[in-house]
A = this chain, B = another copy of it.
């Protein structure tokens, strides 16, 4: 039985980690931490999980986290993660980091979009935890940087077409729409019920921090630097991301080439499902699961490829993918603890 600790377990991502791990066949939660909720029983904090987790929140202390576990999930704010992780690795535990701190390879880019990186030396070692692209590296990693929710939905949407050079990378526009849980459990007017309800909106247009993360991975797939437009929107719903990703098809590329590229690229992917021709996925159809469902249209009028990608932002976009990474890092079946069907309706 694998012992795992969760540092920062009082946000929505932390709760989702507890939900998934409390039913995991080969892992056991050994410690949960939260500075704010320290001393509180988890099931008093979150009565939904009564009988599923009776742990008490402890302080977020690296020594304690490391000594109680084989692997630590760090679900901490940006910058807090990079202050904690070197100490965890030094003590010999593996880490899946759910912050953005180790996702970017280039510390300068990190510095430009976030702040000065404190441990740039670790960036090279950290593995970007998107299993469809990096399963082999994840298998032997000490530190996995769990991808952002939006990047997961966008990268999986264009990977086959970029890998097969079917599209012009400079024309990629990702228009993404997310449920509100992506904004977290912290209070803000932007997540206040009456402001969200009937209030669809775009935010951080042309300046969202997930942009360089997407560009890094698309650049690797394309074999050259890629600059994209990425626009996030907030949908009045709790869970789910749908990304609509546009790009210009290269000359001579037809619907058959696209179909072949997608079917081939994902033929062994445990957690990617492709819509039947003519269908497009809806955010609801992956809720609560680790799936990314993909559908697409080749628009001959405009010469564009339009891909629709849906994930659950808390599961595939955060905690589920983190558990999947843990499974791979620890030699467990990729889908251990992640086999439940999506929640309908």
A91-99, A135-143, A224-232: which one contacts chain B?
A224-232
Q: CA of A87 to CA of B236 in the docked complex: distance in angstroms?
A: 44
Q: Provide the residues of chain B in CB contact with A134, threshold 8 Å.
A: none
The reply to whether A193 and B206 contact each other, CB–CB distance below 8 Å, is no
The reply to whether B302 and A227 contact each other, CB–CB distance below 8 Å, is yes
Q: CA of A345 to CA of B16 in the docked complex: distance in angstroms?
A: 9
Q: CA of A235 to CA of B286 in the docked complex: distance in angstroms?
A: 17
Complex partner residue of A47 from B51, B179, B188, B293, CB under 8 angstroms: B293
The reply to whether B279 and A238 contact each other, CB–CB distance below 8 Å, is no
Q: CA of A239 to CA of B343 in the docked complex: distance in angstroms?
A: 11
Q: Provide the residues of chain B in CB contact with A297, threshold 8 Å.
A: 205-206
The reply to whether A181 and B194 contact each other, CB–CB distance below 8 Å, is yes
- A 11-36 contacts with B by CB, 8 A: 12, 15-16, 19, 22-23
- A 225-254 contacts with B by CB, 8 A: 227-229, 231, 233, 235-240, 242, 244, 246
Task: Supply 14 A–B pairs (Cβ within 8 Å), ascending by A.
Answer: A47-B275, A47-B285, A48-B342, A52-B341, A175-B244, A177-B177, A187-B189, A195-B345, A200-B237, A200-B240, A201-B282, A206-B306, A229-B302, A231-B244
Supplied contacts A48-B284, A206-B297, A238-B345, 4 more A-B pairs, CB within 8 Å: A173-B173, A185-B192, A198-B284, A205-B306
The reply to whether A345 and B194 contact each other, CB–CB distance below 8 Å, is yes
Q: A227-B301, A306-B229, A306-B231 are in contact. Are A180 and B194 (CB under 8 A)?
A: yes
Q: List the 3 shortest-distance A-B pairs measured between CB atoms, nearest first.
A: A199-B284, A206-B299, A48-B285
Interface size class of A (residues with CB under 8 A): 35 or more
CB-nearest residue of chain B relative to A289? Answer: B48
The reply to whether B229 and A19 contact each other, CB–CB distance below 8 Å, is no
The reply to whether B246 and A229 contact each other, CB–CB distance below 8 Å, is yes
CB-nearest residue of chain B relative to A248? Answer: B171
Complex partner residue of A198 from B205, B283, B339, CB under 8 angstroms: B283
Q: CA of A299 to CA of B230 in the docked complex: distance in angstroms?
A: 11
Q: Does A197 contact B (CB under 8 A)?
A: yes
The reply to whether B302 and A198 contact each other, CB–CB distance below 8 Å, is no
Q: Does A330 contact B (CB under 8 A)?
A: no
Q: Provide the residues of chain B in CB contact with A304, threshold 8 Å.
A: 173, 206, 229
Q: CA of A189 to CA of B188 in the docked complex: distance in angstroms?
A: 10
Complex partner residue of A23 from B286, B339, B343, CB under 8 angstroms: B339
Q: Provide the residues of chain B in CB contact with A238, threshold 8 Å.
A: 193-194, 197-198, 345
Q: CA of A30 to CA of B181 in the docked complex: distance in angstroms?
A: 38
Max chain B C-beta neighbours (<10 A), residue from A202, A239, A288, A301: A202
Q: Fill in one digit per residue for A332-345: 1 if any B CB lies within 8 Å of its CB, else 0.
A: 00000001111111
Q: Provide the residues of chain B in CB contact with A202, threshold 8 Å.
A: 242, 244, 280, 308
A135 CB, min distance to chain B CBs, angstroms: 19
Q: Provide the residues of chain B in CB contact with A244, threshold 8 Å.
A: 175, 202, 231, 233
Q: Provide the residues of chain B in CB contact with A340, threshold 8 Å.
A: 23, 340
Q: A192-B193, A205-B306 are in contact. Are A240 and B198 (CB under 8 A)?
A: yes
Q: Does A40 contact B (CB under 8 A)?
A: no
Q: Does A122 contact B (CB under 8 A)?
A: no
The reply to whether A192 and B187 contact each other, CB–CB distance below 8 Å, is yes
